[in-house]
Every structure is written in structure tokens, then in C-alpha cells.
Structure 1
């Protein structure tokens, strides 16, 4: 039975899978071979009931009273997240945030790599930032098609986000991570994930205030 085909995995659950894998690898490095959901909850700060529900979307990964085998979970989540396949990423927008992403460039994930960057500023085009060349955004469709890139990160401000995304879509990119909180219009076969830093900070402050009461 292919559980993942029969159950549609919620987006919130899918977002936790890389978190689980990261902590599982940490546990593996510490020589831990087996773990209970309540213990894993303490490590990940995710409720144990949520962990068990998330795991159930993939299949029967553990046994009652026995827990979960760390190595098996790493194998299952690694296969599910396809971590052995190198994913080439294009970055659009080389301002402060874009440069920070290029300087970091997924150092903890060998299978994720920003290989090219794009901007509309003539003073930036042609530069190399942390070894990644910056191209004219007008050349985006041609370059990403040549490189077979299917994922793009946009750090373009909200007022320019729609234009940037339309250029990304021209390149047949189907997955976009946008740091502009305003929603953009894309074709039905394109997925956009939004990161709203202001919202994240406000949420963090909200919980911090609760802890102080």
C-alpha cells in the first residue's frame, strides 16, 4: 500500500518533514538508535500527537511500546524528501536579503544549491556573489531552461513581485519561494510558498509576551 498516494499530505505537515529529518540526523550522530514520540517531541518542540499524525501520512513507521528506529526514519524521510537528488535553484533579487541567501547558499544541504542569480540593476548584473554569477532578469527564461532549473527564490519587494514571478513562470519554473508577503497570480500548475518575515516576528513576539505573563 502506498500511503502517500492514498492520503493527501497537508501543507503544514509537509513543512515539518525537513525539520524531523534534521533532528533525526542529529540523534543519529549522537548514537541514538530508537526514540519514542514523546521524547522526539521534546527535541523538536512539536507535540507528540502531531508527530504521530504526521508520521501516519507516510505509513506505519513505529510500533506501540517500541517507538521508532532512528535509522529507518532517516531512510524513509530522506527518500520522501528526495534528498539524494541535487536541486538547482535560481535566485531573483540581489539586494541585502538576496546577498545573505547567496552567502549562506544552503550550506547544510548538499542537495540544494543556488547556481545562478538575477537582478535588474545594471550595477549588479555581471557580478559574482559568493561565486554565483548575477544575470539580467530579462535572460531568466533562457538560462533556467538551459540549466533545467525548476525552483526559484524571489526576494523582490512586493511592488515588483508580480513582474518578477511572471518572468520566473516564463522560464517554466513550477515552484517559487517568495519573500514578498503579497499574493501573486500564477498558473494553476505553479506553486508559490510565501515567507512573511514581519508576520513571523510578530507571531514570535506574541508568544514571547505570553511566556512573560
Structure 2
């Protein structure tokens, strides 16, 4: 993406664009307009054109967008041709779900190692993925060259583990704990508070009901 700063909202939509474009390419569609993408994705056409404009001239006026060219652009932008190895820390209910989901290898991302306090020192396999105790965290992350981690651990140990990860060269953490983690500038962090998202959804639904009762 070069040195140009891309808005965070645009960045979050990039994987969504890639997924829809891949579906169109698989269906044999050769070109598509922003209005057609808008209708399929339920995103305003002006937003799509603005998002794409951050990356230069991706389409032609009166023609729209070449699906294969656009797909290749987003594949390169999102590094889809390069497999990303991920470590999972915490193999509870949510962690187990990730281990099972891993087989799909969506977006060239693959969990190659996991860590859990109940695992034996020499490791054990689950869904063909080795699981080790946290004592071997630094050793295995360095050995496997892991740069991205999914964190699904209890809140009380989240920051301690994050501090340890910061010493290993990890570049990104997907945080599923409610803890607001402090990280150095060398690490990108995305936090997903499932309970918070659920509360927001409940609030929006209740306000939709209130609005409909007032109208």
C-alpha cells in the first residue's frame, strides 16, 4: 500500500471486497460496476469508489472494474499469495472453535501452533495442530517465525502474555479478551470484545423497537 495512509474504515473493508470479488471471478463475471458491488455488498457506491480511489485508478469510467485485475490487486495488497502462520494462545471453548475452523484455511491464514496450560511439556496434537504449555511460548514462536497471534485467554493473564509476546518479534495480536492491552509501537492489535459487541447489538435492536413505536 506504499507510504500513503489508508483510512482504518477502508482497511477493514478490504477483506470483504476481496471475498466478493473472488465469488464474482469464480462465477465467470469479467467486469462489474460500483453500483453492482454496492447492491451485492450493501455498501454505498460512493463509499466503494472512495475506498478504491485510495489505491489509484482501478477502474475506467463507463466500463467499471475488471474483476480479475481488481482481484489480483487486492490479493497482492492483502498478501493473499503468501501464507501467514498464526499461533493460538488459549485452547478453551473459543480456542477449540478456532482449531476446528483452521482446516478451511480462509485467506491463506493457518494456525500452526497453540498454547494451553493443560498441554504436556512435549506437546499434544489436536486437529493436527501441536499444543504446548505457555512455558514454551517464546521458544516455539521464535522457532516457527510466528508474527501473528490469536489471544483467547482469561483476562487476568492477558497483559502478562502480551508483554512476553512483545519480546518475541510478534507483529500482530488479535485480542478476544475484554482487557485493553498495552503494546509497544512495533505491535498492531485488533480487539474483539464479544460481550461488548453483543450489548451494542441489543441496544440497537431495542432502539429500533422504540423508534418504530414512536412512528
**TM-score, structure 2 normalization:** 0.89
2:52 corresponds in structure 1 to 55
Gaps in structure 1 of 5+ consecutive residues: none
Deviates more, 1:184-193 or 1:72-81: 184-193
How is 1:1-213 mapped onto 2 (pairs within 5 angstroms)? Answer: 4-105=1-102, 107-109=104-106, 111-122=108-119, 126-209=123-206, 213=212
Change (3 A) 1:70 1:192: same
Q: Kindly indicate whether the alpha-carbon contact (under 8 Å) linking 1:35 and 1:67 is maintained by their aligned counterparts in 2.
A: yes
Q: Kindly indicate whether the alpha-carbon contact (under 8 Å) linking 1:36 and 1:68 is maintained by their aligned counterparts in 2.
A: yes
Gaps in structure 2 of 5+ consecutive residues: none
Q: Kindly indicate whether the alpha-carbon contact (under 8 Å) linking 2:120 and 2:133 is maintained by their aligned counterparts in 1.
A: no
CA distance in 1, matches of 2:103, 2:187: 23
1:39-82 superposed Cα distances (whole Å, 9 cap, x missing partner)? 10121122211111111111111122221111111010001011
* CA positional deviation for 1:191: 0.9
Change (3 A) 1:62 1:25: same
What do you get for the CA RMSD once the two structures are aligned? 2.0
**TM-score, structure 1 normalization:** 0.90
